[in-house]
Amino acid sequence: MTIEAVPPAGAGGGLPGTDLAPVAASTPRGVLKQLVLGDRQAAFGALVLVLFVALALAAPLISPYSPRVKAGPVYAPPSSEHFLGLDDGGIDMLTLLIWGARVSLLVGFAASLMAMLIGGTVGILSGYLGGRTDTVLMRITDYFLVIPDVPLMIVAAAIWGQSLLNIVIIIAVIYWTSTARLIRSQVKSVREQVYVKRARALGAGNVRLIVKHVLPQVTPLLVANTVLTVATAIFAETYIAFLGLGDPSQISWGKLIQNSLTGGAIFSDAWWAIVPPGVCVTLVILACTMVGQSMEDSLNPRLKVGHLSVHRFRLRRPPAKAEVG
């Protein structure tokens, strides 16, 4: 017979005899939905992300030209036929931007998901088990923290080749450390809760405690940190491609910037070959940061203190002087 531990009062409903209403969003999915839709900044960022994802998915249907076929003269300026002009190969820039979103977003989301799995697993095991396991895993995390990004990418590209899979693995291996440290600190707090200790006393094993009690509590914070990692991963993919270390057969925003600079766009005053890819990268990174920062600000216990919250920096008015006499 399986005995379930009862969560502490206030975790999923109101207290009898009080005016406290039950919490509407008691599940991780409900919490995330409430945070995103209840914050204007997060809602705007989510809208921008959805728009870029929709453009990337519909690229074969909405692209005005082929991304591999020359559509006109080199560096032709924007016109009614080509709204963003042509690049150094005479290919329509709008088409390249739409197709480039597919690779940039794919690498960003895939690398962030892999970093979440690695960092979340390390953080949960380290925070829950503690002891020697915690020490060993945190020392490994420290070693990865000091690995320089660019030299590792250059070496990995030279050894394993320039492919999207290698780029995803490299980015995930570099950026899982912050997730591991954040989840570890949260798990250490959750494992000391009364309902977790009660479940352990009733005979629940470590696997059941982690799956049933620890993981649901840290999932929203893990998702928030992953959204922030998407911004970092997309930026990393951009400068990897800009350095010429990306897959040369794939079209990405970083590859477009590299092609424009190596093709002499600056000397030709072809701003339309440089600015649009940079704007797309900036908008996606800003959107991910807005969504992730809003979620983390609400979910991270360390940021709930007034002087640490990014939403609570305000100028305080000096107190009114009391009139004498």
* Contact yes or no for 94/151 (Cβ under 8 A): no
Tell me if 284 is assigned to some domain. Answer: yes
C-alpha span between 278 and 289 (Å, rounded): 16
Tell me if 13 is assigned to some domain. Answer: no
- Kindly tell me the sign of the dihedral angle through the C-alpha atoms of 174, 175, 177, 178: positive
- Render pLDDT for 274-294 as a digit per residue (tens, 0 to 9): 899 999 999 999 999 888 888
Tell me if 1 is assigned to some domain. Answer: no
What's the mean pLDDT in 127-152? 88
CATH number of residue 219's parent domain: 1.10.3720.10
pLDDT of residue 321: 60
Tell me if 278 is assigned to some domain. Answer: yes
What's the mean pLDDT in 108-112? 93
Per the structure block, which two tokens stand in for 307? Answer: 């002087």
For residue 309, is pLDDT > 60?
A: no
List the domain range (segments joined by +) for residue 280.
28-302
For residue 31, is pLDDT > 80?
A: no
Tell me if 307 is assigned to some domain. Answer: no
- Render pLDDT for 150-170 as a digit per residue (tens, 0 to 9): 788 778 877 887 888 888 998
Of 2-11, 121-130, 215-224, 242-251, the one with minimum mean pLDDT is 2-11
- Render pLDDT for 6-16 as a digit per residue (tens, 0 to 9): 444 444 444 34
> Distances from the Cα of 178 to the Cαs of 14, 120, 152, 221, 296, in angstroms?
35, 10, 18, 12, 13
CA atoms within 13 A on the CB side of 152: 16
For residue 263, is pLDDT > 70?
A: yes
* Contact yes or no for 48/292 (Cβ under 8 A): no
Range list of H helices, the chain: 28-37, 40-57, 59-62, 93-129, 131-145, 149-160, 164-175, 177-190, 194-201, 206-209, 215-242, 253-262, 275-299
State CA 122 to chain mean position distance: 18
What's the mean pLDDT in 166-191? 89
For residue 314, is pLDDT > 80?
A: no
Name the residue among 289, 291, 300 with its Cα closest to residue 181: 300
Give the pLDDT band of residue 95 (cuts 50, 70, 90): very high
Number of domains within the chain: 1
Per the structure block, which two tokens stand in for 222? Answer: 């893990």
Per the structure block, which two tokens stand in for 290? Answer: 């807005």
Tell me if 316 is assigned to some domain. Answer: no
What's the mean pLDDT in 45-70? 90
pLDDT of residue 318: 60
Tell me if 257 is assigned to some domain. Answer: yes
Give the pLDDT band of residue 52 (cuts 50, 70, 90): very high
Per the structure block, which two tokens stand in for 5? Answer: 């531990």
Give the pLDDT band of residue 1 (cuts 50, 70, 90): very low
Give the pLDDT band of residue 66 (cuts 50, 70, 90): confident
Tell me if 317 is assigned to some domain. Answer: no
